[in-house]
Structure 1
Amino acid sequence: MCRIMLEEKPDGESLIILEDLSLNGMFINGKQTKGIKTVLQNNFEIGFANPTKKLYVFYDCLKNDAEDYPRELTQTYTISKRLGEGSFGEVRLAYRQGTLERCAIKILKKKGTCMALNNLKQITNEIHLLKSVDHPCIIKFLDAIETPEKMFIVMEAAGGGELFDRLVSRGSLPEPAVKFFFYQLLLAVQYLHQRKITHRDIKPENILLATTDEFTTIKLTDFGLSKLAADASQMTTFCGTFIYIAPELLDTATATYTSQVDMWSLGVVLYVSFVGASPFHGNDLQVRQSILQAKYSFGHKLWKGVSEPARDLITRLLVRDPKLRLDAAAALNHHWLEVCV
């Protein structure tokens, strides 16, 4: 039970105040408000019983930025809070009108940056690829709306945030959780590779969690750098995030590469999931050399609690020669993952 009031201040400002009168307490933006008053602001999330049960979103009709979005978007979706932002745009939470289905809208700039042309190519590429895939462990494409200045890509929402954020908050993950997530990730990558798609930027920031539960569905996302190689088995464009880049991408003597670059990235993600740290250390030059030599160790104290089969899988993924590196099918058949099948 609660009471929502409009309070007029002497200076003319109007405040919307929620007073929590419930016995067990309410939650606003994940924080309990039992017995207190809260000034509501646009996009505040209101829930009951526990912080994950978000039943209402406060929408201030006088203080929102709906005018910043095209009519084609606002007549279908109610735009809510910002989930993240980067140099080329931002991601917003939204609700589909009529069903209240939660979704995420990636808002990307088409102009105004020195990399506008490349950015536009990445946007178009991501839409094309998202439309072509359908897998429970890959983020689902819902809609795309274009204006002269921006592109709005509507996708399913993942309420658990990024795997990266979970690793940052916890430092590392227990082996059962790592195995549960990694098995799903392999299924997603196998699906892509079977369709001649190489992601090229697999990292914890691009792995979303469906919910905040300990064991939940993962969603591989951010296909801006992906490559559809329907008519070729090798690619030449340099892409990816430095720590997760395969050796063949750093080797100037290697002119081409294959989808095996994703398998190297998966090996780094698996390593990081166990200890919360990269397998390669030092400055940029030292990290580059370590990657080129596939030089790493299991010296961190947390490795003492990790099983030998898990470490064995990492050593079979972080292999210098891509031809000797496990592919997705072989990795799924590794004995560490037998109990997941």
Structure 2
Amino acid sequence: MAESSAAPATVTAAPTVLDELLEITAQSLVRTEVAEHYEVIRELGRGKYGHVVLVTHRQRGTPMALKLLPKASTKLHTFLYEYCVALSLATHPAIISMFGIAIESSQYYGFLYEPALHKDLISIIKPRDGIPEPAAKQCAKQLVSALEFIHSRGLVYRDVKPENVLLFDPECRRIKLTDFGLTRPKGTKLKLVAGVIPYTAPELSNTADAQGVPIDTSLDAWAFGVLLFCLLTGYFPWEQSLPDDPFFEDFMLWQETGLEENLPRHWKRLTAEAALMLRSLLALDPAKRGPVGGALRYVDCPWRLEDGCSEGAAVKP
């Protein structure tokens, strides 16, 4: 996201800066049909709320990624919020660059950002194998930097997963976070409205509080730990972070005891250092969970045993 029109935000000022940027963007939204200025080349991705296409500017020939959100199912404020959060974080080298153009057509809201022609991280994770360890460590270092930057702005990313990590080369020397629709200011109260997935932290999985749980950066640490496990093994550590999931039940026992004999069977392909790193990021108590930056203490250690067991729910591209 090339240039951000938002000034650097402090932890307390993040919501105010976003509100100001939202107001300015709403007033300057460009109303045009996509075909008037852009030629659609092909689809780059499709999700629950919209899709992304590769386009070129008809006059300049500039390749761009255009995210389109259907107006019929997207509130204007929702669109503007995602765009403005992305724009405010765009200066970081491991966060997707923006062109600073938001449009409204007859059917869509859309914004333009730099295209990642090597797809996303999920596309290179081999089921039950993962990715090469050097590439996993490259990802870890860049994601730590991006997440710490987001956290320094008083925000919680809330959507760490391989699909949201875009690749700019096959070896992961240059990756970037994208998709900020779920990003919220720290302290925002959140209720679990969708189903529990592997990346869902247990404090959200088990919440019965009708008022919601105030979110903090420990949510990102949990999801980051799950992502690292996927990169190193090619499968999820569990299907759901709930006690009735047998894989998660085994993990809870190991977290409580710390004994090597209780290490879940499908974790045995990891080195002791990697297991220690993930045990910190995946602490059951969010107050005891290590920050994302804690992973950097282990990047010079081996993470994977070549003759380890491979058993679990495979990550499918």
Q: TM-score, normalised by structure 2?
A: 0.71
Structure 2 counterpart of 1:131: 87
Structure 2 counterpart of 1:159: 117
1:29-178 to 2 correspondences below 5 Å? 71=32, 73-111=34-72, 113=73, 116-117=74-75, 120-133=76-89, 134-142=91-99, 143-168=101-126, 171-178=129-136
Structure 1 counterpart of 2:137: 179
**2:135–2:171: 8 Å Cα contact kept in structure 1?**
yes
Secondary structure of the structure 2 residue equivalent to 1:177: helix
**1:125–1:226: 8 Å Cα contact kept in structure 2?**
no
* C-alpha distance in structure 1 between counterparts of 2:292 and 2:171, whole Å: 25
Secondary structure of the structure 1 residue equivalent to 2:51: strand
**1:200–1:239: 8 Å Cα contact kept in structure 2?**
no
Structure possessing the higher relative contact order (Cα contacts under 8 Å, 6 or more residues apart): 2
Aligned pair in 2 of structure 1 residues 288, 144: CA closer, same or farther (>3 Å)? farther
**1:250–1:288: 8 Å Cα contact kept in structure 2?**
no
1:130-186 CA-partner distances (Å, limit 9, x unpaired): 111121111122221013531111111111111111114784112111011111011
Structure 1 counterpart of 2:238: 280
Secondary structure of the structure 2 residue equivalent to 1:252: coil
* C-alpha distance in structure 1 between counterparts of 2:226 and 2:295, whole Å: 14
Structure 1 counterpart of 2:280: 316
Structure 2 counterpart of 1:235: 189
Amino acid at match of 1:167: I
Please tell me the root mean square deviation across aligned C-alpha atoms, in Å.
3.1
* C-alpha distance in structure 1 between counterparts of 2:228 and 2:39, whole Å: 37
2:221 to 253, 263, 270: 263
Q: How far 1:315 sits from its partner (Å)? A: 1.0
Q: How far 1:237 sits from its partner (Å)? A: 4.1
* C-alpha distance in structure 2 between counterparts of 1:242 and 1:98, whole Å: 44
Amino acid at match of 1:251: N
Secondary structure of the structure 2 residue equivalent to 1:323: helix
Secondary structure of the structure 1 residue equivalent to 2:286: coil
Larger C-alpha radius of gyration, 1 or 2?
A: 1
Secondary structure of the structure 1 residue equivalent to 2:226: helix
What is the percentage of aligned positions where both structures have the same residue? 29
Q: How far 1:88 sits from its partner (Å)? A: 3.1
**1:248–1:257: 8 Å Cα contact kept in structure 2?**
no
Matched, 1:198 2:153: no
For structure 1, the residue ranges without an aligned partner over 5 or more in a row are 1-69
Matched, 1:336 2:292: no
**1:107–1:152: 8 Å Cα contact kept in structure 2?**
yes
1:252-274 CA-partner distances (Å, limit 9, x unpaired): 25632312101100000000111
Amino acid at match of 2:190: T
Secondary structure of the structure 1 residue equivalent to 2:198: helix
Aligned pair in 2 of structure 1 residues 283, 247: CA closer, same or farther (>3 Å)? closer
Aligned pair in 2 of structure 1 residues 172, 161: CA closer, same or farther (>3 Å)? same
1:294-309 to 2 correspondences below 5 Å? 294=252, 297-300=263-266, 303-304=268-269, 306-309=270-273
Structure 1 counterpart of 2:27: none
197-206 or 186-195, which moves further after superposition? 197-206
* C-alpha distance in structure 2 between counterparts of 1:102 and 1:140, whole Å: 13
1:288-330 CA-partner distances (Å, limit 9, x unpaired): 99389746755238x43x4332222111101111111111333
1:214-270 CA-partner distances (Å, limit 9, x unpaired): 2431111111111134xxx35324378721011111122563231210110000000
Matched, 1:246 2:201: yes
Amino acid at match of 2:289: R
**2:280–2:290: 8 Å Cα contact kept in structure 1?**
yes
Aligned pair in 2 of structure 1 residues 337, 222: CA closer, same or farther (>3 Å)? farther
For structure 2, the residue ranges without an aligned partner over 5 or more in a row are 1-30, 255-262, 303-317
Aligned pair in 2 of structure 1 residues 71, 124: CA closer, same or farther (>3 Å)? closer
Amino acid at match of 2:192: F
